[in-house]
Structure 1
Amino acid sequence: MLHEQPVQPSAQDRTGARDECGVFAVYAPGEDAATLCYYGLYALQHRGQESAGIAVSDGTHILVSKEMGLVNQVFDPQRLAGITGHLGIGHVRYSTTGASTWDNAQPAFKVTATGGSIALGHNGNLVNTVDLARELGLPGDARSEAPRQCSTDSELLAALLARDADTSLEESIVRTCGLARGAFSLVVMDSDTVYGVRDAHGVRPLVIGRLPRGGYVIASETEALDIIGAHLVREVEPGELVAIDEHGLRSRRWAEPTPAFCSFEYVYLARPDHRTGETSVYAARRQMGRLLADTAPVEADLVIPVPECGTAAASGYAEASGIPYAEGLVKNRYVGRTFIQPSQS
């Protein structure tokens, strides 16, 4: 089991409101949770390229394996064989708060006040980290708007969940989510249950899938279900908590929903084959292109997309405007996403 010690981030580490990561969770008796997490994270690689991690339990204790790098660089068959169990969570990171270092890679692992253990994966960005640090009894720095003794908002959430000795993990999640302000789609686990929770605004996506031979998965996007043969059940609703254990899936409302989904998911973050609501990201981008042709017509010889995210919108613009579509820019497909690299502002 791995337990990271939080470090003080520099102001440079915390610049920018960046909150793109990928999370995955699975509960599947009789299945290899680590391998399912691996493939789920592989499908979510576009959401984070800095680090990858998996936490797995066999029903008694949690093992965590994480490292800097891409999913297929971090995990090979030998490493996956060392973390066995039927439930687990995974995370690919695009740093939001805290430096891009191994210490800040997720899942975050904590020993609880009762001697158990939990692991947490977080996609989002909290705006009240000073208040949360003070809730833990840690000193805060009002000038920097970050706690002195915690390197990420995800570490803060995990520490808050681990501190409660007088209640269940499920109740602790509800209590902690009530304290948090900002965007968060979380996957959390103890030794025998996995949880998925979404903030009241539903800023970041989170979906539920069903495996063919039983068991459930939770993921940031639907393509993580497709790659392991799971079918989409539904989205986790804003303000909803779902729990999956030996009794199946159960749900509760922890906050009244006030939906405010991030439009940038449609524009850039999500993969085109992600299905959300009544449409796909690809269809939404094509429709954006059609609407743009109506509202901003131009005289031009060609419509040329900026790959890859602009491709669908450009085809929609060309269709609606009648201007021919052509490819004029070529991206090296062996290079990862550059926008989400830590060096980009």
Structure 2
Amino acid sequence: MITTNPFDDDKLREECGIFGVSGGETASAIVALGLHALQHRGQEAAGITSWDGHDFHTHRAMGHVAGNFDRDEVIRGLPGASACGHVRYSTTGETSLRNVQPLYAELNSGGFAVAHNGNISNAMKVRRELIRRGSIFQSTSDTEVIIHLVATSSYRTLLDKFIDALKQIEGAYSLIVMTPEGMIACRDPLGIRPLVMGKLGDAVIFASETVAFDVVGADYVRTIDPGELVIVTNDGEIRSHRPFGETHARPCIFEHVYFSRPDSIIDNSSVYSVRKAIGAQLAIENPVEADYVIPVPDSGVPAAIGYAQQSGIPFELGIIRSHYIGRTFIQPGDKVRHLGVKLKHNANRALIEGKRIVLIDDSIVRGTTSLKIVQMMREAGAAEVHMRIASPPTKHSCFYGVDTPERTKLLAHKLDIGGMQDFIHADSLAFISINGLYKALGEAKRADIRPQYCDACFTGDYPTKLTDQDDAVVTNQFELLAERVV
């Protein structure tokens, strides 16, 4: 039986990754390489759509970019100087081929392809209204509502139709759109999800992270501003539109903590350097006497280096990770299920036996992996096991394109820090403070009014309306009341 790796589902799931090329030879081949660099943002499915000046061509598949887009015949089937691609981890919509992006439709104005990173928090309400008016949906993805809003808009030009659609949706989005008129890249008014622009010769490139530019040999130009639409016409003209006026940015703070690759640059800051600074601040706030600082690989490594440098405790690799265990693996039976963690992580017994160790990880979600890692250290003979987390407690679910468990399943929602420490059987447990996290990011502290980042997973301070979530709560309350009446 093939099942999801139970040790991966104790992480906040990466959202999605998008990549687009306008005006480049063999654009689809460049997109495929860019998607390889963004594979960490979504491993369930991948897709590429190209435009050859006359027709659109699409190839979508379940699984990784490798194996689906590294064959010559696939790239030859995606001709043209413009292409966009998407790697997906589902946040809204089932896991099936019909939800794999880019989504494509033939509109009155011609072909329309869209790749979306994020989550539309009023998608269900908009969808119900569109269906009532006669729209027929082909997927269960929230992204499809954008296509229908563009198709049914009463505005004259395609750009105005697109802006009209964006003004009817809530939540988080970075989008790359392809039409016969050119390519459009845009971010939501708060800039919750990332998007950057680069150049490769005469070609204009858009990507979720700068690391994708490094892989294809492109130069970073700038970040797409919150609420900005950048249009690249077929003759290479670049235009910027700001239909939302002045906006107050609230980019996702977890990009710095976990989602982005450490070799990416966010707002002119190295992700790797920021994570080291987070680890150093964690050491200042939560010191402990120990023999070694040990990262939980791989996400805890930069923070552990920062913690070790600040504390003076030696950094060591006390946990060795196997890189040959993917998202799924075969489990021969329930009796060996508890051994599964050792398929991915194994203790370096010769190093840690008899030692006091500090484990550094980026977050605790359900707590099941932390429990197993601490247990592994105990079984390998560690004298003391202290855990330090490079983010505040994750107490709230994300509704902006990150697949998090229901709030009731988050360990920090159910237990205080003492209870969490007991649950994972650590000698001590501590998290970086919210102000400490902001300090590591170069801010004096978290602003009380209009904070600098979206940190709702830690604070519950959601920067936009959550229409679908609020409607669901009201519906559940109504159903409970009806049950009581009956």
| Cα deviations by residue, 1:23-54 (Å, 9 ceiling, x for unpaired) | 0111124x111101100101100000011000
> Could you say which residue in structure 2 is the equivalent of 1:328?
318
Query: Within 5 Å, which residues of 2 pair with 1:36-185?
Result: 36-75=30-69, 76-114=71-109, 116-138=110-132, 151-164=140-153, 166-185=155-174
Answer yes or no: is 1:274 the counterpart of 2:264.
yes
Task: Report the AA paired with residue 63 of structure 2.
Answer: G
1:28 & 1:149 partners in 2: Cα distance? 30
Per the TM alignment, residue 169 of structure 1 is displaced from its structure 2 partner at its CA by 2.4
Match of 2:297 in 1: 307
CA RMSD of superposed structures (Å): 2.6
The answer to whether the 8 A contact 2:14-2:42 is kept is no
Matched, 1:298 2:288: yes
Show the counterpart of 1:198: 187
Label 1:194 to 1:335 Cα distance change in 2 as closer, same or farther (>3 A). farther
Residue 26 of structure 2 is aligned to residue 32 of structure 1: yes
Q: Which amino acid aligns with 1:96?
A: T
The C-alpha deviation readout for 1:193-252, integer Å capped at 9, x for no partner, is 1111100111111000011x2110000000111111110000001010001121421111
Find 1:228's aligned residue among 176, 191, 216: 216
C-alpha distance 184-278 of structure 1, shift in aligned 2 (>3 A) = same
Corresponding pairs, count: 321
Judged with a 3 Å threshold, the aligned counterparts in structure 2 of structure 1 residues 342 and 207 are, in CA distance, closer, same or farther, namely closer
Amino acid paired to 1:136: L
d(CA) in 1 for partners of 2:86 and 2:152? 23
Q: Which deviations, in whole Å up to 9, do the C-alpha atoms of 1:101-140 show, x marking residues without a partner?
A: 10110000111134x110000000111113322442448x
Structure-1 separation of matches of 2:251 and 2:97: 30
Moved more, 185-194 or 125-134: 125-134
Structure 1 length normalisation: TM-score?
0.87
Deviation track 1:245-288 (CA, whole Å, cap 9, x = no partner) reads 21421111121322111111111111001101131110110000
What do the CA deviations read for 1:51-87 (whole angstroms, capped 9, x no partner)? 1000000112211110101001212111110110000
Return the structure number with greater helix share: 2
Q: Which runs of 5+ in 1 are unaligned?
A: 1-15, 140-146
TM-score between both structures, scaled by the size of structure 2: 0.62
Q: Give the distance between the partners of 1:186 and 1:233, measured in 2 at CA.
A: 18
CA distance in 2, matches of 1:258, 1:337: 37
Counterpart CA distance in 1 for 2:123 and 2:222 is 31
- Structure 1 contact 110–162 (Cα < 8 Å) conserved: no
Write the deviation string for residues 3-38 of structure 1: whole angstroms up to 9, x where unpaired. xxxxxxxxxxxxx99670000111124x11110110
In 2, the alpha carbon distance for the partners of 1:198 and 1:287 equals 28
Shift of 1:155: 1.3
Measured in 1, the distance between the counterparts of 2:132 and 2:318 equals: 54
Alignment of 1:188 with 2:177, yes or no, is yes
Query: 3-state DSSP class of the match of 1:172?
Result: helix
